[in-house]
Chain A
């Protein structure tokens, strides 16, 4: 989702023969990159999204290796074709075989993780198959586990013991995807586990398969975040990327990967031959580079600064100035008490703003709290900059951009959308099966756990961010826990628009309205079934609450300069965080997420219905619009190394990071610079899975239609509805 860089302030200023507005629009069109989806036989190949690495993403460039890889690919294709042929020759028809029901398979399903072994796995689809000596599959019985995880599948004993069956198989299926045929959801099932049933053991009455423990969407226990356990996302992941998604990233990303590898090689051999400018030039132009070429200095101006903070990746929150109602503050929380390294600065920021006539809060002062140079590491030191000191003001704005970029990346992007969506995804996939809420949520919650696993490796520890910014891997996790502690579906509302130029907030409100209409209609349509399977909703809510992080609390309030003092109020405004919402204590800690329902059976007298609707809207909102916004704007706001990156080094000068962009001693080094470009391109330019394009047929046509109805209004806010992703998968 690219937003048009409408500039209200000074939009009519003429530069050459065009207005700034026209130039910005041209640049916006110019930087849209289209990748060729065709490659030559010996062209480089990327193994897949799971193989992405900051260092070497398993890109294959040796012709011999490529040839072997091609042969391997042919073999895999052949195997796939054989598998498909086998499926075609021996389909698993949902046709019940046998006439009596004089024997039963019984048992119960629970989760396998040590803290969950008493937790039943309800409503799993179970099928008892007979495999004939000719390979055919004959269904002997089918059903699903009950709310206690127990199952009781009746079947025809004589049919099962027939000589024609070579083996008998008890199959546990899970929903992998939900597709739509017109408005009807069609869940796609995949085999989760097969258990052979010895034919000789069937002697009538019931045969007990006993307690079957499933490693199904297990929560991680190694970090205090509601994340799913994935040991190897190629082999034992709870779900997998679709082929189309894999192909899309391969097609889009190989040129970027090659550029990074080229730079890495040059840095190894002769780093003097490379500079940040050359690195920048090798990557596709981003918006700020394109505008700078046409209007030098414009992207470093206060106008651009103000506009991008309001409508860019950071989409800042403005808190009223307690001393002056005409003024407001943007806060960005830096390193605070989190574990940081000693190479990079990450000061906390306060930007004092004054609303312009055009409805854009213009910066009038910048306050940096915390160390900005290697000379003084006092965490409470404060530095104030104003436009009256033009050079320092310029440098300080860059420091603000960098702090804001890292903060947005960690708080709004990683924690706010990725991990936040994952907590709903894990709870949903663990519990929603027969409830139509699964059909509502799954298309938007799928694949997030996979991309988060990749993010763990390439961005968190020991990935790019700890090496290119102040935050350590531990610090990132702690910070993520704190931010997640302020995120709750309860009474969440979109940002309040400040003016007609606050496109972000206007678009967010409109999208929320669209999601609201869609969810409302969905709930009316499937009311009976949602109520019938309310137990799933209850379990979904329980998992959500019990595994959510502790509710946010400011941790350190020793010094009057401590930015932590404003954090709770800021989070209340930014994330609509309400510390007084009803919450539950689990293991002695008050949890961040409020229960959706406390009732195992639907209680019409409660507010559960509205709460479930609100939670669903919130989950869809976060997984789609909120993620798309922050993800796709990265390339505009951190796609030029000198304009902004994720970290400025302290350098060796007393001024620290308050130095011009030309001073490369504080900029990221060459390797980090190319990785930075790789990183922003990867995240912003490899999307697949959009709501209205519906590449995989998994989006409810109702949602698409509702969104398309507002296409023109979204465009007015600079958003192409076709570019809004349906899920968080990059």
Chain B
């Protein structure tokens, strides 16, 4: 018995659900709904963005580079064959600003990593954003997030932030206004992945990429109001151009290259696992599960705009022992990666569309600011 107030006693209903109808059948129904939703979402994104406009769903405004990643020698996490000490992989990364075509706007910045120089094929891909937590936490919340975008002149997600406090906090810790460079940001995968090391034990892992030299992160905002969070427009009298961050990255790579520290956090599995372990809105305790250096990423060459557009990443590109975790329903925290994986169809359609007229043009350096889409020819 619980007591909501001293005035009234509240009892907990004792429900003995029918095991077949209440559990097994329900689970199958949940899986079916999840599968259908993921497929439909992929098709919708393909139709609305890839086919119609040759666009990604969000991270169009980006730049790619290539280089190598070297696994560190002294590893302090459970060993895994793929991350064997001293091992090197070619790497292709892509930095982007979501979801506007203007680097000076208040945006979430991203870094996608591919252990290959290929456009798509690779043994290991990872998609990461600024901010240790996300703006959504399940397939259901992602769909709501998408439905409530309601972007107008660089202002978006008003209703989403009003309704979902965690989404608001996620945005506030993720948005970066006018960072100095892509290279001094910290990027988090946020959602956990499977980590089955050489000892065969099941664990979970989260990844992040941080600046090699422990540079302080720039672009972080404090005391953001709800309105500040919605308002992603450039600042009044903004002197930075629409491509300032990409230009800075090109200059930096051409002159010095860029180094990042690739890290992971490992969490043991227990049966049954607390669902909150998989909640990307909740951080794992760094004292119990510290971040460990996994490798050093060294980017030496910047790719052209066209090649950057063709760079594609997928959470499906992972070894079996490091893949995504199974999801049970739309509300399952792991359903987010499940949804990502099923959005493959959108990527394929986008690349297919590039064959007809090539990728979209580079972002112009004009004064048409706060735009989320390419200008249509008048």
Q: Which residues of A are in contact with B by a Cβ distance under 8 Å?
A: 94-99, 102, 106, 123, 125, 127, 139, 142-144, 157-158, 161, 175, 187, 189, 200-201, 203-208, 210, 433-434, 529
- Whether B5 contacts A125 by the Cβ 8 Å rule is yes
Q: Are A434 and B7 in contact (CB-based, < 8 A)?
A: yes
Are A125 and B331 within 8 A (Cβ)?
Answer: no
For A205, give its contact among B4, B8, B10, B166 (CB under 8 Å): B166
- 3 closest residue pairs by CB, A with B: A142-B4, A203-B141, A203-B140
With contacts A95-B12, A96-B11, A96-B13 known, is A206 near B165, CB below 8 A?
yes
Known: A94-B8, A142-B10. 15 other contacts (CB 8 A): A142-B8, A144-B4, A144-B5, A201-B163, A204-B137, A205-B141, A205-B167, A206-B164, A207-B164, A208-B163, A208-B164, A210-B162, A433-B7, A434-B5, A434-B7
- Interface members, chain B 1-45 (any A CB < 8 Å): 2, 4-13, 15
Instruction: Please report the C-alpha to C-alpha distance between residue A201 and residue B15 in the assembled complex, in whole angstroms.
Output: 26
Contact status B13-A97, CB under 8 Å? yes
Known: A204-B137, A434-B5, A434-B7. Is A106-B144 also a contact (CB below 8 A)?
Answer: no
B residues in contact with A123, CB < 8 Å: 5
Would you call B138 an interface residue if the criterion is a C-beta within 8 Å of the partner chain's C-beta atoms? yes
Task: For A94, list chain B residues within 8 Å (CB).
Answer: 8-11
Hey, which chain A residues are within 8 Å of B200, CB to CB? none
Give chain B nearest CB distance to A435 CB in angstroms: 9
The distance from the CB of A572 to the nearest CB of chain B, in whole angstroms, is 41
A203 to B144, Cβ gap below 8 A? yes
Interface residues of B, CB < 8 Å — how many?
Answer: 28
With the chains together, A157 CA to B331 CA distance in Å? 9
**13 contacts across the A-B interface (CB closer than 8 A):** A95-B11, A95-B12, A97-B13, A98-B13, A125-B7, A142-B10, A143-B4, A144-B4, A201-B144, A203-B140, A205-B137, A207-B164, A208-B165
Question: Which chain B positions have C-beta within 8 A of A434?
Answer: 5-7
* Cα of A207 to Cα of B141 in the assembled complex, Å: 11
- Nearest neighbor of B139 in chain A, beta-carbon distance: A203
Min distance, Cβ A136 to any Cβ of chain B, angstroms: 12
Interface residues of B in 47-85 (CB under 8 A from A): none
In the complex, B98 has a CB within 8 A of chain A? no
> Which residue of the partner chain A has the closest CB to B332?
A204
Tell whether B275 is near chain A: CB-to-CB under 8 Å. Answer: yes
- Closest chain A residue to B331 by CB distance? A204
When the two chains form their complex, are residues B164 and A125 in contact, meaning their CB atoms are under 8 A apart? no
Give Cα A127–Cα B137 distance, bound, in whole angstroms: 26
Return the chain A residue nearest B159 by Cβ.
Answer: A201
Known contacts: A203-B140, A205-B137. The answer to whether A99 contacts B15 by CB under 8 A is: yes
B281 within 8 A of A: yes
Chain B residues within 8 Å of A208, by CB = 162-165
CB distance from B288 to the nearest CB of A (A): 22
> Contacting A203 at CB < 8 Å: which of B6, B7, B138, B162?
B138
In the bound complex, what is the Cα–Cα distance between A123 and B7 (angstroms)? 11
Task: List chain A residues, Cβ under 8 A from B164.
Answer: 203, 205-208
Measured in the bound complex, the distance between the Cα atoms of B137 and A143 in whole Å is 26
In the assembled complex, how far is the CB of residue A164 from the closest CB belonging to chain B, in whole angstroms?
Answer: 12
Q: Quick check: A204 and B10 within 8 Å, CB to CB?
A: no
The answer to whether A158 and B331 have CB atoms under 8 Å apart is yes
How far is B166's CA from A204's CA once the two chains are assembled, in angstroms? 10
Min distance, Cβ A191 to any Cβ of chain B, angstroms: 14
Compute how far the CA of A189 lies from the CA of B141 in the bound complex, rounded to whole angstroms. 35
A124 to B, closest residue via Cβ: B5
The answer to whether B331 touches A203 (Cβ under 8 A) is yes
Cβ–Cβ < 8 Å partners of A200 in chain B: 144
Whole-angstrom CA separation of A142 from B281 in the bound complex: 25
CA distance A538 to B83 in the complex (A): 62
Please judge, given known A-B contacts A99-B15, A157-B331, whether A207 and B163 are in contact too, CB under 8 Å: yes
What is the chain A residue whose CB lies nearest that of B4? A142
List, in ascending order, chain B residues with CB within 8 A of A204's CB. Answer: 137-138, 140-141, 331
Q: How far is the CB of B157 from chain A (nearest CB, A)?
A: 13
Specify which chain A residues have a CB less than 8 angstroms from the CB of B8 in the assembled complex.
94, 125, 142, 187, 189
B163's nearest neighbour on chain A, judged by CB, is A208
Residue of A nearest to B1 (CB): A96
Q: Once the chains are docked, how many angstroms separate the CA of A70 from the CA of B2?
A: 47
Interfacial residues of chain B within 155-192, with CB under 8 A of chain A in the complex: 162-167
Docked CA distance A102–B141 (Å): 14
- A95 in contact with B13 given A187-B7, A203-B331, A206-B165 (CB within 8 Å): yes
In angstroms, Cα B279 to Cα A647, docked, is 77
Which of B4, B144, B165, B167 has the largest count of A CB atoms less than 10 A from its CB? B4
Closest chain A residue, CB of each to CB of B26: A158
Residue of A nearest to B14 (CB): A95
With a CB–CB cut-off of 8 A, which chain B residues contact A139? 10
Which of B140, B141, B163, B329 has its CB near the most chain A CB atoms (within 10 A)? B163
Cβ contacts under 8 Å, A143 to chain B: 4-5
Minimum distance in angstroms from A169 CB to a CB of chain B: 16
A95: B residues at CB distance < 8 A: 10-13
Picked from B140, B144, B275, B281, the residue with its CB within 8 Å of the CB of A102 is: B275
Residue on B nearest A138 in the bound complex, by CB: B13
User: Contact at A106–B165, with CB atoms within 8 Å?
Assistant: yes
Nearest neighbor of B281 in chain A, beta-carbon distance: A205
- Tell me which residues across on chain B come within 8 A of A207, comparing CB atoms: 163-164
Would you give the shortest CB distance from A140 to chain B, in whole angstroms? 10
Which residue on chain B has the smallest CB distance to residue A162? B26
Residues of B within 8 A of A106 (CB): 165
User: What A residues does B141 contact at CB under 8 A?
Assistant: 203-205
In the complex, the chain A residue whose C-beta lies closest to that of B30 is A158
Closest approach, in angstroms, between the C-beta of B222 and any C-beta of chain A? 22
Q: Give Cα A127 to B4, complex, Å.
A: 9
Distance between Cα atoms of A297 and B140 in the complex (Å):
89
Instruction: Kindly state the separation between the CA atoms of A139 and B12 in the bound complex, as whole angstroms.
Output: 9
Nearest residue (CB) in A for B5 is: A144
A95–B5 Cα gap in the complex (Å)? 14
* Complexed CA–CA distance, A106 and B162 (Å): 11
- Max count, chain B CB within 10 A of own CB: residue among A94, A157, A161, A204: A204
> Binary interface profile of B, 94-127, with partner A (CB < 8 Å = 1, else 0)?
0000000000000000000000000000000000
Chain A residues in 8 Å Cβ range of B9 = 94
Q: How far is the CB of B283 from chain A (nearest CB, A)?
A: 14
Q: Considering the chains assembled together, what is the distance between the CA atoms of A468 and B236 in angstroms?
A: 69
Residues in B neighbouring A144, C-beta threshold 8 A = 4-5
Q: How far is the CA of A96 from the CA of B329 in the complex (A)?
A: 24
Point out the residues of chain A lying under 8 angstroms from B166, CB to CB: 205-206
- For B136, the closest partner residue in chain A by CB is A203
Closest-by-CB residue of B relative to A103 is B331
| Most central of B11, B144, B164 by chain A CB within 10 Å | B164
Contacts of B137 in A (CB 8 A): 204-205
Bound Cα distance A127, B8 (Å): 12
Cα distance, A207 to B137, chains bound together (Å): 13
**Chain A contacts for B140, CB-based, 8 A:** 203-204
- Min CB–CB distance A76 → chain B (angstroms): 30
Q: Which residues of B contact A161 (CB under 8 A)?
A: 331
**Smallest distance from the beta carbon of A145 to chain B beta carbons, Å?**
10
Q: How far is the CB of B335 from chain A (nearest CB, A)?
A: 10
CA distance A161 to B138 in the complex (A): 15
Q: Looking at the assembled complex, report how far the CB atom of A165 sits from the nearest CB atom of chain B, in whole angstroms.
A: 14
Of chain B, the residue at the smallest CB distance from A163 is B29
CB distance from A426 to the nearest CB of B (A): 21
Query: Please, which residues of chain A bring their CB within 8 A of the CB of B163?
Result: 201, 207-208
Contact B331 A175 (CB under 8 A): no
- Give the distance to chain B from A322, nearest Cβ to Cβ, in Å: 55
Nearest CB of chain B from residue A270's CB, rounded to whole Å: 61
Q: Could you tell me the distance between the alpha carbons of A161 and B140 in the complex, rounded to whole angstroms?
A: 12
Complex CA distance for A99 and B17, rounded to whole angstroms:
11
Q: How far is the CA of A184 from the CA of B147 in the complex (A)?
A: 52
Q: Complex: how many Å from CA A142 to CA B164?
A: 20
Complex Cα gap A139–B143 (Å): 27
Min CB gap A527→B, angstroms: 14
Complex Cα spacing A361 to B329, Å: 88
Specify which of B4, B12, B165, B329 is in contact with A125 (CB 8 Å cutoff).
B4
CA A139 – CA B9 in complex, angstroms? 13
